[in-house]
């Protein structure tokens, strides 16, 4: 790991200003950034440590929604009684992410800045071509080993999969990210790779995530996060679904439905086509399975990741049907 | 690699105060092992994937390989060397011995530090929960069934 200067921020404003300087990066839990610095992917000249700032780690939940400070750590969010009660999919997404140790380190703001696990991106010494790392250098993944790569939202420049769980739940429930004065839907915070896969987030130099806000809804209250993976725990998703369901008073007609996919796309992937196809319909297995196929509309595989196109709709359908059974 | 600058870092480890001059890039793991001779904390993958370097910071389990030593300033750090009390092993250490919860032993300090926190967090209520919340500690010898048994035994003892 190349050496860098270390600066401990004493205020949010000071952190923003320091991190706006060339070569400077904000350091929170470090679970992505220190790892990538060891890989030679991140080469900061200055790290601005924000973990000693106070007042940014609160978790407040009321009838309007949840406000989670950027420095709240994942483990605390997952175990928070009101997050479990009003946003079960959020709690489930977080506790199924990473390991207990990493969840104790990783912050909510840092989680949104998590980078892809694409093995070509992470290995500059063996793979010089990576448009995400070095714009214009090409993509080593296309034509390579693609089992873990995205099938949705890809471009000719990049097929790297977005690996996070939390943001998948956040986009399902219309959460916003607070960047100081500015607020963005989490869905808009994450960018498609297009021709500029190096630009992953709609955050500008001098901006810092201060909080994540999740509006309350009946669908968020009755929600789940289903994560299917190669091993039971401590593994990224092969395919996952954050689903929220609200039924009409008849107990069978779908009033509101939220569906987002993880593990299959280049960003957290809201599947509105599935939602629109089922809203107003009676919840029954055949209709749910048929509509869930819309989750992968437009999917493009690169060989070894084809299974994700088969798997994702099944994960969506199972999540919706499981919620439907849980009265 | 030569360093441009070093910075003074004050660390509180197992109740003892240490002041080190470190390059900012030095991780807590390397500071413990290479500078302070506290080699109980192991370096496995050095990338946050194996759990061998698990220590407690302010009572919570974290990975020392992805924590900069400078970040840990002002926090209370506990390593495997700091678990025993008055010469007596910690109950989780005893449970690992009684349940033969290791083979080569390299992952064991991390397993034990993780288990102590796992029990304290209330995440050791069933074998299934233990397996989930101990998933961040890999054991290449495959001693998992005995590790789960040791954690379960220690959790029951802590609850009684």
Q: What is the CATH number of the domain that holds A282?
A: 3.30.390.50
Kindly tell me if the per-residue pLDDT of A148 is higher than 70.
yes
Kindly tell me if the per-residue pLDDT of A224 is higher than 60.
yes
Q: What is the CATH number of the domain that holds A40?
A: 3.30.43
- CATH assignment, B7-82: 3.10.20.30
Residue A212 lies in a domain: no
Q: Which of B50, B56, B66 to mutate to test the interface with A (most CBs of A within 10 A)?
A: B66
Q: Where are the domains of chain B?
A: 7-82, 91-159
Residue A199 lies in a domain: no
Q: How many CB atoms within 10 Å of residue A276? A: 12
Torsion over CA: A200, A201, A204, A208 (sign)? negative
**Contact at CB, B24 and A38, closer than 8 angstroms:** no
Write out the two tokens for A279.
């809203």
Give the minimum alpha-carbon distance from B21 to chain A in angstroms, rounded to a whole number. Answer: 13
pTM greater than 0.80: yes
Q: Quick check: A101 contacting B, CB < 8 Å?
A: yes
**Contact at CB, A47 and B68, closer than 8 angstroms:** yes
Kindly tell me if the per-residue pLDDT of A327 is higher than 60.
no
**What value does the mean pLDDT take over residues B127-148?**
98
Q: Quick check: A10 contacting B, CB < 8 Å?
A: no
ipTM above 0.95, yes or no: yes
**What value does the mean pLDDT take over residues A257-274?**
98
Residue A162 lies in a domain: no
Write out the two tokens for A300.
């493009």
Residue A32 lies in a domain: yes
Kindly tell me if the per-residue pLDDT of B36 is higher than 50.
yes
pLDDT at residue A326, as a whole number:
74
Long-range contacts of B99-103 (CB under 8 A, 24+ apart): B99/B146, B99/B147, B99/B149, B99/B150, B99/B153, B100/B143, B100/B146, B101/B143, B101/B146, B101/B147, B101/B149, B101/B150, B102/B139, B102/B141, B102/B143, B102/B146, B102/B147, B103/B139, B103/B141, B103/B142, B103/B143
Q: Which of A1, A5, A6 to mutate to test the interface with B (most CBs of B within 10 A)?
A: A6
Sequential DSSP letters for chain B? ---S--EEEEEEETTEEEEEEE-TT-BHHHIIIIIS--TTS--SSSSSSS-TTEEEETTEEEEGGGSBGGGGTTSEEE-GGG--BTTBPPHHHHHHHHTT--SS-SSHHHHHHHHHHHHHHT--SSHHHHHHHTTTS--TT--HHHHHHHHHHHHHHHH-
Q: Whole-number mean pLDDT of chain A?
A: 97
Residue A309 lies in a domain: yes
Position B79 confidence tier, pLDDT thresholds 50, 70, 90: very high
Indicate the fold that domain B91-159 takes in CATH: DNA polymerase; domain 1 (1.10.150)
Residue A232 lies in a domain: yes
**Contact at CB, A34 and B117, closer than 8 angstroms:** no
Those residues whose C-beta lies under 8 Å from the C-beta of residue B86, and which sit 6 or more positions away, are none
**What value does the mean pLDDT take over residues A166-193?**
97
**What value does the mean pLDDT take over residues A248-274?**
98
pLDDT at residue B4, as a whole number:
61
Residue A314 lies in a domain: yes
Residue A90: which of A58, A114, A66 has the closest Cα? A66
**What value does the mean pLDDT take over residues A101-108?**
98
Residue A14 lies in a domain: yes
Q: Which of A8, A39, A99 sits opposite B51 (nearest CB)?
A: A99
**What value does the mean pLDDT take over residues A107-114?**
98
Domain that holds residue A40: 5-49
**In A, which residues are within 8 Å of B132 by CB distance?**
232-233
pLDDT at residue B2, as a whole number:
41
**In B, which residues are within 8 Å of A52 by CB distance?**
74
**What value does the mean pLDDT take over residues A90-110?**
98
**What value does the mean pLDDT take over residues A131-147?**
97
Position A180 confidence tier, pLDDT thresholds 50, 70, 90: confident
**In B, which residues are within 8 Å of A78 by CB distance?**
none
Please give the biggest Cα pair distance in chain B: 54
pLDDT at residue B55, as a whole number:
99
């Amino acid at each position: 790991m190349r050496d860098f200067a270390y600066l401990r921020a004493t205020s949010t404003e000071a952190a923003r200003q320091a991190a706006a300087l060339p070569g400077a990066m904000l350091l929170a839990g470090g679970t992505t950034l220190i790892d990538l610095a060891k890989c030679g992917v991140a080469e900061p000249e200055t790290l601005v440590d924000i973990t000693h700032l106070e007042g940014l780690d609160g978790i407040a939940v009321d009838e309007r929604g949840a406000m989670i400070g950027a420095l709240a750590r994942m483990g605390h969010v997952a175990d928070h009684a009101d997050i479990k009660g009003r946003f079960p999919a959020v709690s489930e997404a977080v506790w199924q992410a990473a390991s207990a140790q990493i969840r104790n380190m990783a912050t909510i703001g840092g989680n949104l800045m998590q980078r892809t696990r694409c093995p070509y991106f992470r290995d500059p010494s063996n793979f010089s071509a990576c448009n995400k790392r070095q714009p214009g250098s090409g993509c080593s993944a296309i034509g390579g080993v693609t089992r873990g790569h995205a099938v949705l939202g890809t471009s000719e420049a990049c097929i790297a999969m977005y690996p996070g769980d939390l943001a998948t739940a956040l986009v399902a429930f219309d959460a916003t990210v607070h960047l100081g004065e500015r607020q963005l839907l989490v869905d808009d915070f994450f960018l498609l790779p297009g021709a500029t896969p190096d630009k992953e987030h709609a955050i500008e130099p001098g901006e810092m995530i201060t909080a994540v806000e999740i509006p309350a809804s009946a669908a968020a209250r009755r929600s789940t996060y289903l994560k299917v993976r190669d091993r039971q725990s401590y593994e990224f998703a092969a395919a996952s679904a954050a689903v929220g369901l609200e039924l009409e008073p008849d107990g069978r007609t779908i009033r509101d439905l939220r569906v987002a996919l993880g593990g299959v796309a280049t960003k957290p992937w809201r599947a509105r086509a599935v939602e629109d196809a089922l809203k107003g319909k009676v919840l029954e297995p055949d209709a749910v399975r048929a509509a869930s196929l819309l989750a992968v509309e437009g999917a493009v595989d690169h060989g070894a990741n084809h299974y994700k196109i088969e798997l994702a709709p099944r994960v969506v359908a199972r999540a919706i049907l499981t919620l439907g059974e849980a009265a | 690699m030569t360093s441009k600058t070093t910075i003074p870092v004050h660390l509180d480890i197992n109740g003892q105060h240490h002041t080190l001059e470190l390059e900012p890039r030095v991780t807590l793991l390397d500071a413990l092992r290479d500078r302070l001779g506290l080699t109980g904390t192991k370096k496995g993958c050095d990338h946050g994937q194996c759990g061998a370097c698990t220590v407690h910071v302010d009572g919570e389990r974290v990975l020392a390989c992805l924590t900069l030593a400078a970040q840990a300033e002002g926090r209370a750090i506990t390593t495997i060397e700091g678990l025993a009390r008055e010469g007596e092993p910690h109950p989780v250490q005893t449970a690992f011995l009684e349940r033969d919860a290791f083979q080569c032993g390299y992952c064991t300090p991390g397993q034990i530090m993780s288990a102590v926190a796992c029990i304290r967090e209330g995440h050791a209520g069933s074998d299934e929960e233990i397996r989930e919340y101990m998933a961040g500690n890999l054991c290449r010898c495959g001693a998992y069934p005995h590790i789960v048994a040791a954690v379960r035994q220690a959790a029951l003892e802590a609850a009684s």
